Structure 1
Amino acid sequence: MRKWLKMSVLILLSFVFIIGLTACNSSKESLQKVQIGEVTRSIFYAPQYVALEKGFFEEEGLDVELSTIPGGDKTMTALISDGIDIALVGSETSIYVNAQGTDDPIINFAQLTQTDGTFLVSREKIDNFTWDMLEDTTFLGQRKGGMPQMVGEFVLKKHGIDPHNDLELIQNIDFANISTSFASGTGDFVQLFEPQASVFEKEGIGYIVASFGTESGHVPYTVFMAKESFLNEQKEVAEKFTRAIYKAQQWVYEQSAEEVAKAIQPFFEDTELDIITSSVERYKSQNSFAENPILDNDEWDNLQNIMDEAGELPERLNYEDFVNTEFAEMVTE
């Protein structure tokens, strides 16, 4: 009798497990699949990881698959060739592509970050930094034509420094190798994203002395974009996607930096929690994370002014033609 009872319990448990697994798979299959390609993995994109980790996309009925595609050019190639549905990349890349002419324009529809995300790191500790200290030094900047480098030059000029004559500007090192080059002795100053800036400060390799984000003003620095055809054919998906991002943006500003850091830590397994926390705190304190997904006209103009100042603007593009705020406005009402 006891043996029969034990067998019955095992069969019942197996049945429950199978039913649960089937229901889970069925639920997963009912979600609309969406593929995102991010230009890099960065704490700067914290709200995106929050949306994934907290289930905000699933709440909207979306099964989002995230892949990292290093380099704006590669990310845009994946978008144009339908390798991904949505790209998270700097808005300048959409300008480069759209200026070449296309039957299916790339449309910016949900803003994720609204300032530059880089910091000026000095090899030596400086208690009272002023921008003129960069004169006659070696400055390890970012890739030519990318937003970090263009904003970097814009800020230097704003402080009366000619980046091509008043200092030695190095901008021919790949993004992935910039921090390594500085650590090995190249440059007196370097322009870095978090968490690398904080890691260097903790290890005594360099010291954060200024923020390019606070100096440059609001720009559509990193934006979710898609082909116009996708937004026209998948309006419901675009709205749901944007709503999930907005939920995450609100959550990031409602929670402490430590809570945000804990939420996104699975995406940065090799980075210590205190570094993630300090990085999030820096970005929150200067409002680098957009508080809502709306990309406004002033930000678009500021972006093109910075590109023009750097000599990288192929042509000025109309806000109305390449920015769609329909979904962002719907979810923030």
Structure 2
Amino acid sequence: MERFLVSATGHSLNYLPHYLAEERGFFRDEGLDVSEVVPRPWDLVLDHIRDGTAEAALGGIWVPSMFHGRGRRLVPFAQVSNRAPLALVGRTSAEAFNAAALVGKTVLMKGSNGASVGLYLKMMLREAGIDPKSVNYVQDLDGGILQACFAGGMGISC
């Protein structure tokens, strides 16, 4: 079996196809012993790629795009998912989602593996005609801290 280490920017629903391939034995069937590491801080994945510790990284296209033509060559080679599998968890049930219901509310958004959650939510609000400044955000904290805050009664979780 050939060892193949993947350094990931975090644990995310975005990487579900990878998790399923591992769980179903698809990597093993190809002769790969795949393992993952999620370094803290997340940007250590870049060091893992540069120094050869990891063969691949799970992350978005934005980091290679930022470095393009700026002295560091990071080559995206596969798309693992093409949708934003984000979920918004509230305290009351609703028949259908209404973005206007977020106005004046506090949304808790996990950080530590990129800005995509905040960017996606704010873009979705704009597309729904809602000024993103009309919503309050607790952003970029560790998921465990936000879970505890949500369990203690703070905000809506994203």
So what's the TM-score if we normalise by structure 1? 0.42
* Partner residue of 1:83 out of 28, 50, 53: 53
Aligned counterparts, 1:169-318, within 5 A: 169-187=137-155, 189-191=156-158
SS of 2:95 mapped into structure 1: coil
* Partner residue of 1:106 out of 45, 55, 74: 74
What's the CA shift for 1:109?
0.8
Q: Deviation string for 1:249-289 (max 9, x for gaps)?
A: xxxxxxxxxxxxxxxxxxxxxxxxxxxxxxxxxxxxxxxxx
Compared CA separation, residues 72 and 149, structure 1 to 2 (3 A): farther
What's the CA shift for 1:58?
3.0
Measured in 2, the distance between the counterparts of 1:177 and 1:190 equals: 12
Measured in 1, the distance between the counterparts of 2:31 and 2:119 equals: 38
How much identity, in percent, do the aligned residues show? 25
Measured in 2, the distance between the counterparts of 1:81 and 1:163 equals: 40
Residue of structure 2 in register with 1:39 after alignment: 9
Measured in 2, the distance between the counterparts of 1:142 and 1:42 equals: 11
What is the one-letter code of the residue matched to 2:38?
T
Compared CA separation, residues 49 and 172, structure 1 to 2 (3 A): closer
Q: Deviation string for 1:61-111 (max 9, x for gaps)?
A: 323232233554232232223221100112223223x147225x1111111
Q: Deviation string for 1:182-234 (max 9, x for gaps)?
A: 111221x221xxxxxxxxxxxxxxxxxxxxxxxxxxxxxxxxxxxxxxxxxxx
The answer to whether the Cα contact below 8 Å between 1:72 and 1:89 also exists between their aligned partners in 2 is no
Measured in 1, the distance between the counterparts of 2:74 and 2:105 equals: 39
Residue of structure 1 in register with 2:89 after alignment: 121
Residue of structure 2 in register with 1:62 after alignment: 32
Structure 1: gaps of 5 or more residues: 1-30, 192-333
The answer to whether the Cα contact below 8 Å between 1:143 and 1:171 also exists between their aligned partners in 2 is yes
Structure of higher RCO (CA pairs closer than 8 Å, 6+ residues apart)? 1
Compared CA separation, residues 77 and 163, structure 1 to 2 (3 A): farther
What is the one-letter code of the residue matched to 1:76?
L
Paired positions, count: 157
Measured in 2, the distance between the counterparts of 1:87 and 1:173 equals: 22
SS of 1:111 mapped into structure 2: coil
Structure 2: gaps of 5 or more residues: none
What is the one-letter code of the residue matched to 2:116?
M
SS of 1:154 mapped into structure 2: helix
The answer to whether the Cα contact below 8 Å between 1:38 and 1:66 also exists between their aligned partners in 2 is yes
Greater Rg, structure 1 or structure 2? 1
The answer to whether the Cα contact below 8 Å between 2:14 and 2:84 also exists between their aligned partners in 1 is no
What's the CA shift for 1:173?
2.2
So what's the TM-score if we normalise by structure 2? 0.82
CA RMSD of aligned residues (A): 2.5
Bigger shift: residues 52-61 or 107-116: 52-61
The answer to whether the Cα contact below 8 Å between 1:79 and 1:85 also exists between their aligned partners in 2 is yes
* Partner residue of 1:155 out of 124, 127, 147: 124
Measured in 1, the distance between the counterparts of 2:144 and 2:50 equals: 24
